[in-house]
Amino acid sequence: MIEIKELKKEFSSKQVLFDHLNLTINSGDKIAIIGPSGCGKSTILRYLLGTKMPDSGQILIDGQDVTKLKSRDLLKLRLNMGMLFQSAALFDSLSIEENIAFPLIENYGFSLESSINKVNYVLELVGLEGVNKKMPYQLSGGQQKRVGLARAIITEPKYIFYDEPTTGLDPVMSTNIENVIVRLNQVMNITSIVVSHQKSTILRTADKIFMVHNHALLEPETPDTIEHTDNEIIQSFMRGTELNAQ
């Protein structure tokens, strides 16, 4: 379970990013966070990973407050979390299988050889079997994203965070990535947060949709209610995303 309580962040310029932001995510929930550019969506994911800290408030992951943990405990907690970064963030000089095995080798003392079965399993899940020996530059942007996704899930994390998984991809590749996310949701009992601007991604991958507005989160919608919501702020945001809809 993830609980964000009364989160506040203000920059030295007095610009307020968050004011009393609250969010509860139960195990198994699939949520989406939407909102205009610069409203702080990626920052929320960084707070959950503990790579950035708010001014005040609690960020509880399974009861442990990320803002209070020592770095060793934070690293341990982070093993429960997979993150797909906006850019796939692969290591250029490592092969695809080395990239994907990296978290197992780095955090769990696996060798490449002993990781290979798991590597092949996640490659199959993302629909990229057989690319083991290729280098990142030999794959398209969308394929690299799927490799990033394979790397994020190889440790079988309890939580997975996707930052704009489909933004900037062509419609076919976008649908592919959405299919992979939906499939992962079915295969693994994972709790997921998707940050996205793309309507199809939001509607297909989440059961609950939260919008950042006025430095906090609005009451959540579901894929069904969001289409007919009375909330004009959400209405107008969704109309905007429709322009990008695939």
Ligand X SMILES: Nc1ncnc2c1ncn2[C@@H]1O[C@H](COP(=O)(O)OP(=O)(O)OP(=O)(O)O)[C@@H](O)[C@H]1O
Residues that bind ligand X (CB under 6 A): 11, 13, 15, 17, 35, 37-43
Toward ligand X, which CB reaches closer, 100 or 209?
209
Let me know: does 177 contact 169? Beta carbons within 8 Å: yes
Instruction: Please tell me the distance from the alpha carbon of residue 97 to that of residue 151, in angstroms, as a whole number.
Output: 9
Residue 103 contacts which entry, ligand X, Mg ion, none (Cβ below 5-8 A, type-dependent): none
Rg (CA), the chain: 18
Residue 13 contacts which entry, ligand X, Mg ion, none (Cβ below 5-8 A, type-dependent): ligand X
Residue 71 contacts which entry, ligand X, Mg ion, none (Cβ below 5-8 A, type-dependent): none
Minimum distance of ligand X from residue 67's CB (angstroms): 17
Minimum distance of ligand X from residue 13's CB (angstroms): 5
- What are the residue ranges of helices labelled H in the chain? 41-49, 71-78, 96-108, 112-125, 141-153, 171-187, 199-205, 232-242
Three-state SS string over 112-169 comes to HHHHHHHHHHHHHHCCCCCCCCCCHHHCCHHHHHHHHHHHHHCCCCCEEEEECCCCCC
Strands 208-213 and 216-217: antiparallel
Q: How far is CA 83 from CA 80, 158, 213, 229, in A?
A: 10, 11, 24, 30
Residue 93 contacts which entry, Mg ion, ligand X, none (Cβ below 5-8 A, type-dependent): none
Minimum distance of Mg ion from residue 86's CB (angstroms): 6
Instruction: Please tell me the distance from the alpha carbon of residue 146 to that of residue 164, in angstroms, as a whole number.
Output: 13
Minimum distance of ligand X from residue 44's CB (angstroms): 7
Toward Mg ion, which CB reaches closer, 42 or 192?
42
Toward Mg ion, which CB reaches closer, 96 or 149?
149
Toward ligand X, which CB reaches closer, 40 or 165?
40
Residues binding Mg ion (CB under 5 A): 42
Minimum distance of Mg ion from residue 77's CB (angstroms): 23
Toward Mg ion, which CB reaches closer, 38 or 130?
38
Residue 146 contacts which entry, Mg ion, ligand X, none (Cβ below 5-8 A, type-dependent): none
